[in-house]
Structures are given as structure tokens and as C-alpha cells.
Chain A
């Protein structure tokens, strides 16, 4: 069969959902260390402010479905050998309110098995109101906004 040919009976490839940018909050709505749960296209997405940087991850824990929004943030504790502990990245790890599964807010990857277990991370950025202004419909352009691509 020539390259690129489709075997008979192959179902049509569904169109891949195109990520859209969504304005989810004014930056001052989510202070450093704060979080906001937003719904985008039927998905619950949790937006964090880590010392002025914004990150967005899926709210649902992949283990049993706990809502990460109700969890506490903590740091990363590591050990080079029994009896020695290194604590870092205070506030950058979200812990599920149910079974304590922990996820890196920056990447969505789990602490216990970063390669295989993760929550989806969505690109988040700060954009100025002016940059977000639609051409046809003038909107309020003062201040800056958190934008999530999902």
C-alpha cells in the first residue's frame, strides 16, 4: 500500500480539539500562594500563583478523583540516605485532600512516579489587557490577566 493511503474501512480521524486561550482571572485575583478553580469547556482547571508565576493543572486527581483544589500545598522532601532530609520548593507541590498523592504544580507530574502518574498541565501566562483586546468589541484593558490555553 502506498505511503499515506488509508486502508478501506478506516474510521475518519476525529478533528483534534484545538486549544483556545481563555482569560480566567485578573492577576490580582490570585495572590502569590493562591489558587483559583476555573471551568473551561467542561473541564475543571486549577490555576496557581507561585511567587508571581502562574500555572494551571487539571483539578481531578488521577488516583480516585479527589478535587486537588481542596488539598494543601507543601514542599518537596527528598532524602539522600536514611536520616538525612532535604526540604525545598515550599508551596510548589499540591497534595490531594484524600490520599495524599502529591503533584508538582509547575509540571503536573506526581512526586511518587513523575514519569507515569501526572495530572494534565495547561500552558498559563500573564497577558496585558491591551494585548487581549478584541478588534471589534472594545473591552476594559486596564491591568493584567491570567490566560490559560486549554
Chain B
């Protein structure tokens, strides 16, 4: 068990983070309008988009399946004079990069056609969104890196998009959503993992998206707080799927970064998997190690929003199980549940742990700078 030292607690609060090159692995850019993507789309797909629009895998959905706590789920103070939060590079610089002293930030665009019902449109959008990230954000602001957005329900098209971006230093990881048509270990998604491993790009799995299924396997919940909490359970399902389907046996160099999923649930999942694996090894003979070993070796997690147990030592216990090198800082700017690096981390961390979480760990995973 971890014991919280009062000296560490003071160092966490008062110790300067000066000299730490903070890496933020979750910043959400937004287009001013769909027209921002037009320069990167063929006339055929631009006309299609204008005529039919995007169609998430979800019936009757105009807007969100659950209401958000703030308009567009964004900080009330993050709206620029024109356009939505995250669409104005100057404001993003001021409120996120400058204010929080972020040395490098990774862009994760949301709601831009990933997992669209029309695979062709989804692939065209992914290409356009990737070009747009580089031109609108990464070139004018060298602190920012893009995600390789892929049409993840189409494995082959996704792999082609990843190979198109391979070797381009503007791209930090391949972006998937946690809610997909089938559990992410399903072989239909393996072309994505193959291309990502080949390109040396981690897979970033950001929570949300539209699976077409109810948010819980007991059906639709009533409240937004249930959606926020549900990420822990849907992410458990995808982690189990990726491990037991054998993704990491086939792609042993694959790295997966879970973004915004929380982390308190992970050790218990590892214990449960290992318990059952002892009895059910014969069912999944392609697994050569205990499931928790794949979990500890192939997965990383972002901080925001991190559980805050009543006893601070319990969070340290969780971090110890995961491995101190597995935890990566994220702001989630401009969303309403944004974390500020000065206040988001528990005061009980040592200065070395704090440095690692704020920047060192992410640098080791992503490999840039």
C-alpha cells in the first residue's frame, strides 16, 4: 500500500513545474464550418456532404445522444467571437498552450465523420480532416501535432489513410473512438493495427463516438452522468476484446493510448481477466501470457478526468499497478471538464512522478522531441 507523505504533498502543490516540457495528449480542434474541409475534398464528396450530410451510426440523431453539461460540451469561456470552441487558433493558443505552458499538444478532432454510415464519405472526410489539421493548426503552430483520423469501420480504407500519413512528423497517433460497430479486437479492425504498427504510430482511443448500440448493455440510461461514467465500462469491453482476440500476439509492437477513459477501473479488470484466464486458457490458446501482462505492456492512459478517491493513497496504488510510466497528461481543451496541469494532478505525487506524467511518459510513447 502507498503511504502519502506530507512532504511530497507540499512539493506537489508548491514545487514549480518550470522546466517541464508539458505534453497534452487531448486537445479538440473544431472547423469553423464544413466549408473548412472543402479544399481537401473532391467535388463528388463535397456535393454529397452538402446534399446528405454526415450520418453517425445512430438513429434519429441530430446533435448528441445525451445532453451535455455545457453547450457543445465546452467551457463557457472558450467561445471565440466567431465560430465554435477550438476553431480559433489564437484563442486555443492563449487559453491552452500559453496559459497551461504546453510544449506540445495532440489534436483529436471529434464529430467529423469517423464511423459514418457511409464508408466512402467517412474515408473522404478522414483525408480532408487530416489535411485540414496540418494546414490550419500544425503548420501555423509548431507546438501542435495532428491525429491520423481514419474511417475506422472500413479497415482497408483506414489502413490506406494511415500509410498515406506514415513518416509525416505532423502526425502523433491514429485516432479511434471507443464506441464502434463491433468490439475493437474484432479482426475487421486489424488492418488498422497492422498499418499503425508498421508506421510506428500509437493507436489513440478517445471515448465517445456512435456504435449504433445502447450505451449500456442494460439499455439506455437516463442521465448525462451515466454517460460520463459509462466510459469505464465500454472501455473495459474494448480492452478485453483487443487482448483476448490476440491483437497483441499478432502486432507485438502496437501501443494503445486510452484517452479520457479514467484509470481507476483498470487494475480490477486485470485481476478479473487473469482469474478467468486460469480456467479458460484452452478457449483462447493464442494467448501466451496472462491477460494483465498484455494490458500492462500495450496500454497507456490519459489523466483527464482522473478518479479522485477519498484516500489519496488509493490513487497511488492504482498508478503503481499500471506502472508510473503509463500515465499521460491531458487537458481536454476546450471541453467543459478541462484539466489545468497546475491543479489537476494529486498533490501526493513526487516531483519525479509529476514530471513523468506531465511530459516524460508521453515523450517515451510518442517519440517526438
Q: Which residues of A approach B to under 8 Å, CB–CB?
A: 63-67, 70-72, 97-100
**Closest B residue to A96 using CB positions:** B76
**B311-369 contacts to A (CB < 8 Å):** 336-340, 342-344
**B339 and A64 form a contact (CB under 8 A):** yes
Given contacts A100-B69, A100-B70, contact A67 B339 (CB under 8 A): no
**B337 and A72 form a contact (CB under 8 A):** no
Given contacts A67-B77, A70-B76, A72-B76, contact A98 B338 (CB under 8 A): yes
18 contacts between A and B (CB under 8 A): A63-B343, A64-B343, A64-B344, A65-B340, A65-B342, A65-B343, A66-B75, A70-B77, A71-B76, A72-B76, A97-B75, A97-B76, A97-B336, A98-B75, A98-B336, A98-B337, A98-B338, A99-B336
Residues of B within 8 A of A71 (CB): 76
CB distance from B339 to the nearest CB of A (A): 7
The 7 A-B pairs at the shortest CB distance, nearest first, are namely A97-B76, A70-B77, A97-B77, A64-B343, A64-B340, A100-B69, A98-B75
Residues of B within 8 A of A64 (CB): 338-340, 343-344
Q: Which residues of B approach A to under 8 Å, CB–CB?
A: 69-70, 75-77, 336-340, 342-344
Residues of A within 8 A of B75 (CB): 66, 97-98
CB distance from A69 to the nearest CB of B (A): 9
Residues of B within 8 A of A63 (CB): 343
**A72-B76 Cα distance, complex, nearest whole Å:** 8
CB distance from A115 to the nearest CB of B (A): 16
Residues of B within 8 A of A66 (CB): 75, 77
Residues of A within 8 A of B342 (CB): 65
Residues of A within 8 A of B338 (CB): 64, 98-99
**A66-B76 Cα distance, complex, nearest whole Å:** 10
Interface centre among A63, A67, A99 (most CB of B within 10 A): A99
**A65-B70 Cα distance, complex, nearest whole Å:** 18
**Closest A residue to B74 using CB positions:** A97
**A71-B336 Cα distance, complex, nearest whole Å:** 11
Residues of B within 8 A of A97 (CB): 70, 75-77, 336
Interface centre among A63, A66, A98, A99 (most CB of B within 10 A): A98
**A72-B74 Cα distance, complex, nearest whole Å:** 13
Residues of B within 8 A of A100 (CB): 69-70, 336
**A97-B69 Cα distance, complex, nearest whole Å:** 10
**A34-B117 Cα distance, complex, nearest whole Å:** 47
Given contacts A64-B343, A64-B344, A65-B342, contact A99 B76 (CB under 8 A): no
New contact pairs (8) apart from A65-B340, A97-B336, CB-CB < 8 Å: A64-B338, A64-B344, A65-B342, A65-B343, A67-B77, A98-B336, A98-B337, A100-B336
**A64-B339 Cα distance, complex, nearest whole Å:** 8
**Closest B residue to A69 using CB positions:** B77
**A64-B75 Cα distance, complex, nearest whole Å:** 13
**Closest A residue to B71 using CB positions:** A72
Residues of A within 8 A of B76 (CB): 70-72, 97
CB distance from A117 to the nearest CB of B (A): 13
**B337 and A99 form a contact (CB under 8 A):** yes
Residues of B within 8 A of A99 (CB): 336-338
